[in-house]
Every structure is written in C-alpha cells, then in structure tokens.
C-alpha cells in the first residue's frame, strides 16, 4: 500500500495501536501467551539448569503474541495449538528471508534477476513460501469466531475491505519475529553481563523501560533508517533534490560520545530524568537513538512490542537467575537486522524465592 490508500488504513490501525493507552486492549492476550512460555521454563529449571534456544523460543513467542493480539484472549491459545506445525514452518521461512537478503546487499534487483543468482533464487523462494503460509494463517484466523478484544474483530467493525484486513495482518505476522525477539535477546545478554543492573531491576521493575531503551541504543535491531526526501532540502552544506534516498546509521549515532557520554556502557539510568546519576553524564541527545524510527512511517507495532518485551523480561528477571555461557566474545553482524555474531547462550536457574 502507498499514498492515500496507505494513509487511510494507517489512520484506522493507529487508533488501536498508537493512541494513548491503546495497548491496554492487548494486555491479557500478551500476558497469557508469555505466562505459558515461562511456565515451561520454570518446569524445565526445576530439573536443574536450563539453556533454551533463545532465538527459536522468542521467535515463535513473538508470532504467538501477534496472533493473540489479533484474535483476542479466549481463542488464540486454541488456534496456536491447532496450527502449531503451520506456525513453526512459517517462522522458519521468515528467518530465511533475513538470512538470504544479507547475501544480496549491494546487488541491483534487475541484475540479480538477470543473472539468476542462487542467493536471489533462495530469497525469492523464501518470500513466496512465507507469503503463502502467512496468507494461509491469516485466512484461518479471519474465518474463526473471534472475541471482541482481538484486532481483527476491531478492524472488521471499521468496515475495512476484507482483503485490506488480510494484507494488514500478513504484514504484522511477517514483521513480528526478528525485531522483538532479537531486542529481547540483546537485553537479556546485557543484563547477564551487568548483574548490578539486573539486581536493580529485580528490586524495582519500574525501570524495565529504561533497560530496554538502553539495549536498543546499543543494539538497534534495525541499524539503519532509510527515507526518500519528499522535496528539496538543505542539509548543512548540501542541497539535496526531492526523491533523494537518505540512509542514517542509528547504530553509529547511538554509540557516538558527542550524543551519549560513556556511549559503550550499558547504563539504563541515562534515560531516567529522576535518577541523580544522570547528572554525571554530560551528553544525552535522545533523538540520536530512534529504534522505532520517527514520524508518519514510524513502527506501528512499537507499543505492542514494548508490552511484550516489558512483560517477558520483567517475568524472567523476577523468576530466574541467568548467566552468559558463551566462551568467545559476542559481537554483531547484519542479517537484514542486527543479530549476534554467534548464538547467545544463557543458562537459567530458578531464583531461590521461586524454587522454595
């Protein structure tokens, strides 16, 4: 969707996803979905230490959360159980999109098509299969009886064209996986390396928003913002024509000392205006870190994503002790989104207050 069609439908969806307190309607579906995962973890850690495959677990969780938000609290669990194989296959295919896209960096699309590169064939196949599975998932979601607290039902009540609703939900389902899951992984990794912050979060879970915001500053899942200038603009000494593509590295700006003092350190309190420690930090330019972008085309799912991450990480910190067991240093690599250079392995054990 583009132009007027995009704007009209964006305004409808904004009403349910971006207005003040709009996330309230999704609280129960999201919390119930997260509770199921953590109950599984608690049962596993009763046997001793548990080292989950975080990428797989959180990827599937993100998709389940989206489905819960779309369908509502009373039906989403039944749908996920019924369509488990379909959802698992879909999650694997979407991951392949990001993996194959990286191999095509720097190649013009027409050149990829002309040469019929293997990376292009793999990418095209993963996109086609993902769209097929996503459409199948959404068709099943639309055709079942839905409670009133699901987004699909709310969009139907707006009298949107069924095909438009389908396209909106497909976009959400495809976008759900990598972004939220990797931000959660990076945050847990940083908390495992900064036990003082983790202990502070355990005692005062109200700082969870700052902990997540700080991890997104250091490890923005979408490291680049891209825009097309709508009209001629002056940038410093440069005059740029309308239609010029602009790319901004928020990974670089988020780690720049001129914008953030102690830029490479994980200091969630830098975002808390009421924390006296913030005075020690000379530089703080919040607009240099824009993990959800800005403006009309900013991330429409940011409130739902923050709801999921806030609930999940808070519950993990309250229920578990955990440490990073990677032997080699974890760095970053770009796979369409910013991902760890190796699988991050965290060992979880129950907090004594939970296990007793």
CATH of the domain at 184: 1.10.630.10
Domain tally, the chain:
2
- Residue 299 marked in a binding site: yes
Closest CA to 69 of 162, 169, 165: 169
- Averaged confidence pLDDT in the chain: 86
Last residue within a domain, chosen from 241, 262, 290? 290
Last residue within a domain, chosen from 290, 310, 337? 290
Cα–Cα distance measured from residue 61 to residue 30, given in angstroms and rounded to the nearest whole number: 10
pLDDT at 81: 63
87 and 124, same domain (yes or no): yes
Of 151-155, 222-226, 326-330, which range is least confident? 151-155
User: Is pLDDT above 50 for 355?
Assistant: no
Question: What is the tens place of the pLDDT at every residue in 14-31?
Answer: 777 777 776 777 888 889
93 and 152, same domain (yes or no): yes
Last residue within a domain, chosen from 255, 270, 290? 290
Question: What is the tens place of the pLDDT at every residue in 132-185?
Answer: 888 888 887 777 765 566 788 888 888 888 788 888 887 887 777 778 899 999
109 and 248, same domain (yes or no): no
186 and 252, same domain (yes or no): no
User: Is pLDDT above 60 for 41?
Assistant: yes
Closest CA to 66 of 9, 138, 13: 138
116 and 210, same domain (yes or no): yes
3-state helix, strand, coil in the chain (%, to 5): 60, 10, 30
Task: Give the structural domain span for 27.
Answer: 3-219+299-355
pLDDT at 267: 97
96 and 56, same domain (yes or no): yes
User: Is pLDDT above 70 for 1?
Assistant: no
68 and 102, same domain (yes or no): yes
List the structure tokens of 79: 């749908």
309 and 213, same domain (yes or no): yes
195 and 344, same domain (yes or no): yes
List the structure tokens of 183: 């931000």
Cα–Cα distance measured from residue 42 to residue 318, given in angstroms and rounded to the nearest whole number: 12
Coil, helix or strand at residue 218: helix
197 and 109, same domain (yes or no): yes
| Average of per-residue pLDDT across 67-72 | 82
| Average of per-residue pLDDT across 66-82 | 70
Q: How confident is the model at residue 340 (pLDDT cuts 50, 70, 90)?
A: very high
pTM: 0.87
102 and 242, same domain (yes or no): no
pLDDT at 76: 56
Cα–Cα distance measured from residue 315 to residue 65, given in angstroms and rounded to the nearest whole number: 16
229 and 303, same domain (yes or no): no
Which comes out higher in pLDDT, residue 155 or 58?
58
């Amino acid at each position: 969707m583009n132009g007027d069609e995009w704007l009209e439908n964006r305004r409808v969806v904004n009403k349910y996803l971006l207005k003040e307190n709009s996330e309230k309607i999704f609280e129960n579906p999201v919390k119930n979905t997260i509770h199921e995962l953590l109950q599984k973890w608690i049962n596993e850690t009763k046997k001793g230490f548990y080292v989950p495959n975080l990428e797989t677990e959180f990827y599937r969780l993100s998709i389940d959360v989206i489905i819960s938000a779309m369908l509502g609290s009373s039906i989403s669990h039944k749908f996920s159980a019924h369509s488990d194989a379909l959802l698992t296959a879909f999650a694997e295919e979407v991951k392949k999109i990001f993996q194959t896209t990286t191999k095509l960096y720097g190649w013009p699309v027409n050149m990829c098509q002309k040469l019929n590169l293997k990376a292009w064939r793999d990418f095209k196949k993963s996109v086609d299969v993902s769209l097929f599975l996503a459409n199948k998932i959404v068709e099943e979601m639309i055709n079942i009886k839905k409670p009133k607290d699901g987004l699909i039902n709310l969009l139907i009540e707006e009298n949107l064209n069924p095909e438009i609703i389908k396209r909106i939900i497909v976009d959400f389902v495809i976008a759900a996986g990598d972004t939220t899951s990797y931000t959660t992984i990076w945050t847990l990794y940083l908390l495992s390396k900064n036990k003082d912050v983790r202990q502070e979060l355990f005692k005062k879970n109200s700082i969870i928003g700052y902990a997540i915001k700080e991890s997104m500053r250091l490890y923005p899942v979408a490291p680049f913002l891209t825009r097309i200038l709508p009209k001629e603009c002056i940038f410093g000494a440069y005059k740029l024509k309308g239609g010029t593509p602009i790319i901004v590295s928020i990974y670089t700006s988020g780690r720049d000392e001129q914008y953030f003092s102690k830029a490479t350190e994980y200091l969630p309190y830098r975002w808390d205006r009421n924390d006296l420690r913030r005075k020690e930090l000379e530089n703080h330019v919040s607009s240099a870190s824009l993990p959800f972008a800005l403006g009309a085309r900013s991330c429409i799912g940011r409130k739902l994503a923050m709801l999921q991450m806030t609930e999940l990480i808070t519950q993990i910190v309250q229920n578990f002790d955990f440490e990073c067991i990677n032997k080699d240093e974890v760095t970053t690599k770009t796979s369409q989104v910013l991902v760890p250079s190796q699988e991050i392995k965290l060992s979880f054990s129950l907090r004594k207050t939970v296990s007793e």
